[in-house]
Structure 1
Amino acid sequence: MAEDRAALEGKTVLVIGGSSGFGLEVARLAQAHGARLLIVGRDLEKAARVAEGFRMAGGSAQGFGLDATDAAALSGLLEGESPVDHAVSMVGGAMGGGFLGADLATIRQAIEEKFFANLGIARTLAPFLAENGSLILTAGSGGRPDNASGAIVGNEAIGTLVRGLAVELAPRVRVNAVAPTWTPTPLWRNVAAPDIEQTRARFTEQIPLRRTGEPVEVAQAYLFLMQCGFITGQTVVVDGGLSLVT
C-alpha cells in the first residue's frame, strides 16, 4: 500500500466533474494518496466549496468553475497549473430510447456529449500532461442499442478514442477509460425517488453480484489506472458482471 500511495504522492490530479458523484470519489481517493487536486465543475461556488473541504482535511486542492469543453477556458486554467500528472474527465450524459424511438436531436446530443466533448478535452489537455502521466475518460456499460442508442454509440466511440490516443500520446502519456454501469449518483438527482428505486431493483436482479455498485467502487478503477504504469488504451468495465449476461 505504501508503494500505491507513493505513485500519487505530490502529483497533480485534475478531475473534470470532481465536485460530485464519481468525480468527487476519485478526488477523495487521490487526496488520500497525497495528490494535489484541481477540481473543475461548471458551478464555481460548488467546486470551491469542495476544494475548501479537502483543504480543511489537510489536503491541497483548488476549485475552478468553467465549461471544460471550452478550449480557451480550459487552456487558461492549465497554463497556470501545468504540468498535470493525471487528468480525469467525467464528461458525458445518459439517454434512453432506441434509434427509432428517440428523436434525432437527442441521439446527436448524446454522441456529442460523450465523444466530441471528450475529444475536444483530450486535444486541449494533451500538451499540458506531464511525462509518465495519464488521461482517463468515462464511458459506460449496461445499456443496449435498442434502449440507449446515442449513449451506446458514444460509449463505444470513447473506447475507440482511447485506443487511438494511447498510440498517439505514447510513450509520454497513457490513456484509458472507465465504463461503469448504472450507479446511484447525483447524475440522477432530477429523477423521482420511486423511479430510482425501481431502476436499482431492476439492475440488482440482472447483475450477477445481485447488487448495484457504490460510487467509491467505480472510483477505485480510476485510481488503479493512474497507479498502474503499464496499462494504456484500455476501457475498464465496472459493472458487477452485467455485461456477461446481457
Structure 2
Amino acid sequence: DKPKSMLEIAGKTILEWQISSLHNNRLTNINVVTGYKSSRMQAEGVFFHENKNYKKGSELHSLMEVPKKMGSGFVMLYSDILFEDHIMTKMLTCQEDIVLVVDNTIQYHAPEISKIQDFVVSKNKHQPTRRKISFVCENIISKIGAKLNPETATHEFIGLAKFTKTGAEQFLQTYEDCAKNYQGKFQEADDISKFKFTDLIQEMIDRGYVIHFLEIHKGWLEIHRKEDIELANHFLSNI
C-alpha cells in the first residue's frame, strides 16, 4: 500500500531508478509531483510537490502543479516507467521543440487488454523498422490517444517527453486557453476537468503545432502488473 514509484525493483525504487537516469544525463533539477500516499514518497536530491486534488484530475493536472518549473524547457516522465539510459540521452539530442518518445513494437504484437495504452499514429507513411534510433526526430505525430484504433496505430507513447523553452511556452499557453475557455467533453476526455496529457497534445496538433517523436524499439517497461515487476527485476538486475 504505497505509491507505485516507491515499489522496489532490483534493489532500488522506481523513482530512484528514474533519478539515476536523469543524473546520468546531467539533469539535476528534478521535481516530483505526488498524489496517492504522498507522505510515503522519499528520495534524495529532488523537490516534492503535492497535488492534493489528484483524485479529481489526471496526470496532466499533476504536471500543472509546477508550471514555473517548466518555463525554460523541461523533461516529463510518467512515474511508472523504467527505461535504458540511452533512450533519454538520444531524446535530449533532438533539437525539435516538442519530442515524445514512442515505441514501435506495437506493430508486432496485439495490444494488452488489461492496460491503457497511449496509441500514436505517424503523420508520414511509416515502415516498421528495427534500425538504430536517429538523432534527428524527423517523424511527426498526427494522432495520439488511448481510444485510437490499435490496428491503425504505428506506435505507443511510453510516457517520456522533452520540451524546449518554445515548446514549453506553446504547451502552457494551450493548456491555459483550454482550461479557461472549454467546458464538457474535450478530445478523448468526458469532461475538460479530467483531460489528460495526450488530450492536450492532440489539441496542439489540431491547432497546427508540430509534435515530433523519437522512435525506439523496446528498452523500456511500464510497471502495471505483478508480472511487470518480475520482468523489471530481471531487466534491471543486468544493468
Structure 1 and Structure 2 fold alike (TM over 0.5): no
Structure of greater relative contact order (alpha carbons < 8 Å, 6+ residues apart): 2
TM-score, normalisation: structure 2 = 0.36
- Taking structure 1 as the reference length, the TM-score comes to 0.35
Normalized per residue, the structure richer in helix is 1
